[in-house]
Amino acid sequence: MNADVRLLLGDGERAWRSANPGAAREAFLEAGQCAVSYQLWRSALRCYRRALELDLTDREPITRILRLPARVVAAADWTEYGLALDRHGWQAFSCRSAQIITGDLGARVECSPAGVVIELMMTADDLVEARAEVRFAGMPLAMALIILRRAMWLSPRDAVAEPAWLRVVFDGRPQVRLDEMGDWEPAPEPRGSTETR
């Protein structure tokens, strides 16, 4: 990652730890713009996702993500995100402190101040099946994956050669492979699949 981008991300993290989410947001957005100026598209996407972690209903990072080259972003995921915000009146909430709560009703992801936002089951060592809590019906895939990244990796490592990953099925959609850096892609077909072509 570029040194200028890293410096701005550090400013954002310090602002977040100092309970200044507004300054953190500005630093993350500036880091994304800095990455764009160097044509570091994947870094820019990660910076803008950090801004979204602060407020999952913030439209500005989504707008900036949609300006990135199509080879970097799945535009359909981010267009769906914007449309979902238009359709639903969700209050602003952060997933920076997302945590998994387990109990008699199963496992759930909780974000403050929204409360429970996602219900989940881990049906295999590397597979999570998730669905939006009823108040968040219609949650877009990109929002769910941003939340799950924070919930699954308490301290995600941002600069690792081989990031940890898991497969996610969200609301019955095709599996995606989500890694601890927050990137996702369609999951490959399992070996030995008997699906007919």
List pLDDT tens digits, range 64-88. Answer: 999 999 999 999 999 999 999 999 9
Which tokens in the block code for residue 65?
Answer: 């993500």
In a domain, 50, yes or no: yes
Rounded to 10 degrees, what is the CA torsion of 37, 40, 41, 46? -110
In a domain, 88, yes or no: no
> pLDDT tens for residues 55-65?
999 999 999 99
d(CA 121, CA 71): 32
Q: Are 62 and 30 in contact (CB under 8 A)?
A: no
Whether this prediction's pTM lies above 0.85 is answered by: yes
User: Which residue did the predictor score with more confidence, 157 or 94?
Assistant: 94
Structural domain of 43: 3-73
User: Which residue did the predictor score with more confidence, 195 or 18?
Assistant: 18
In a domain, 22, yes or no: yes
Query: Do residues 121 and 182 share a domain?
Result: yes
Phi, psi of 178 (to 5 degrees): -105, 130
d(CA 7, CA 111): 28
d(CA 102, CA 161): 31
User: Model confidence at 1, in pLDDT bands (50, 70, 90)?
Assistant: confident
pLDDT above 90: residue 108: yes
CATH code assigned at 55: 1.25.40
User: Model confidence at 194, in pLDDT bands (50, 70, 90)?
Assistant: very low
pLDDT above 90: residue 112: no
Phi, psi of 100 (to 5 degrees): -90, 125
Domain total of the chain: 2
Q: What is the torsional sign of CA 173, 176, 178, 184?
A: negative
User: Model confidence at 174, in pLDDT bands (50, 70, 90)?
Assistant: very high
Helices (H) and strands (E) in the chain, counts: 6, 7
Point out which residues pair with 119 in neighbouring strands: 108, 131
In a domain, 58, yes or no: yes
Poorest-pLDDT segment among 50-59, 121-130, 159-168:
159-168
In a domain, 94, yes or no: no
pLDDT above 80: residue 161: no
Interval 163-182 mean pLDDT: 95
